[in-house]
Amino acid sequence: MMRKTVPISAFIICKNEASTLGACLESLDICQEIVIVDSGSTDGTLELIEEYRLRGLPIRLIHNDWPGFSRQKQFALDQCSSTWCLNIDSDERLDDDLRAELLALDLERSEVAAYSMRRPDFLPGYGYPPDSVHSKYHCRLVRKGARYDLTLLVHESLIVEGEVRQLKRGRLLHYRNLSLQEDFSKLNGYSRLKAIQSHQRGKTSNVFKIAFKPLAQFCKLYFMQRFFLCRTPGFVLAVSVAGYVFMTEAKLWRLGLDNAPAE
């Protein structure tokens, strides 16, 4: 029996993602095309991709040396052949409701510029938060004319002109099952890029920002977005994100110190 598909090109950038990519690809069997841009995997990712291609998934694998997050995503988007393109990371997957929601879209007649979807994080020791916990909407399904902001070193963002409509039923599940050591290592790298990005834009930090921005971020997540409902895992997430904000501000302050003119 032929599988039902939607006229969407899903695009993924990856390197050494064999542990999570399989579940991502299995959720994308509704897409007419899956573009994967790899920057040099050595952990079995390429063999896994070939396995799924042989199973019948419409995968196109392309190698591109790593130019940075935004530029790699833009390169992947440019390779897509469909009018509508879905940005998804290797540690994400469409849940059944989101798959059904995408299949029900009449994209050929759609007048919106893009669609956004909820993206909850997996919390080790808890699972995915309930709907009563806030999940931010991320713009991921766009027309091919959308572009990435190439000035961003991290937390890449799409530039979309026109209406962005929310898909409210389904969820883009982020399987964030890292050890604390792995999580902190990743946040350490992201905070470095974020600090450099902010410094390049002329931003500075000080003791007030270093002290209070992490606290404000913790309160936003834990209380306003209701992660306290997730018990200890929700607390750990809120503290981790606050720690990321602290590292970013401290590194930004240090960049300003290192580049200050000598007296």
Residue 78 confidence (pLDDT) above 90: yes
Structure-token pair, residue 198: 């902010």
CA angle 246, 250, 255 (to 5 degrees): 150
Interatomic CA distance for residues 171 and 165, integer angstroms: 14
Interatomic CA distance for residues 185 and 152, integer angstroms: 20
Query: Where does the chain hold its CATH 3.90.550.10 domain(s)?
Result: 6-174
pLDDT cut 90: percent of the chain above it: 93
Residue 130 confidence (pLDDT) above 60: yes
Distance of CA 123 to the CA centre of its chain: 16
What's the whole-model pTM score?
Answer: 0.93
Interatomic CA distance for residues 121 and 173, integer angstroms: 7
Segment 56-79 mean pLDDT:
98
- What tens digit of pLDDT does each residue of 80-119 get? 999 999 999 999 999 999 999 999 999 999 999 999 999 9
Contact by Cβ (8 Å): 33, 107: no
Interatomic CA distance for residues 7 and 84, integer angstroms: 7
Q: Of the candidates 213, 206, 193, 195, which has an alpha carbon nearest to the alpha carbon of residue 255?
A: 195
| Most distant CA atoms of the chain, gap in Å | 75
CATH class of 6-174: alpha beta
- What tens digit of pLDDT does each residue of 6-42 get? 999 999 999 999 999 999 999 999 999 999 999 999 9
Q: What was the pLDDT predicted at 262?
A: 44
The confidence band for 2, taking pLDDT boundaries of 50, 70 and 90, is: low
- What tens digit of pLDDT does each residue of 189-231 get? 999 999 999 999 999 999 999 999 999 999 999 999 999 999 9
CA–CA distances in Å: residue 149 to residues 30, 92, 140, 192: 28, 22, 14, 19
The confidence band for 3, taking pLDDT boundaries of 50, 70 and 90, is: confident
- What tens digit of pLDDT does each residue of 148-200 get? 999 999 999 999 999 999 999 999 999 988 889 999 999 999 999 999 999 99
Interatomic CA distance for residues 174 and 136, integer angstroms: 12
Q: What was the pLDDT predicted at 258?
A: 79
The confidence band for 263, taking pLDDT boundaries of 50, 70 and 90, is: very low
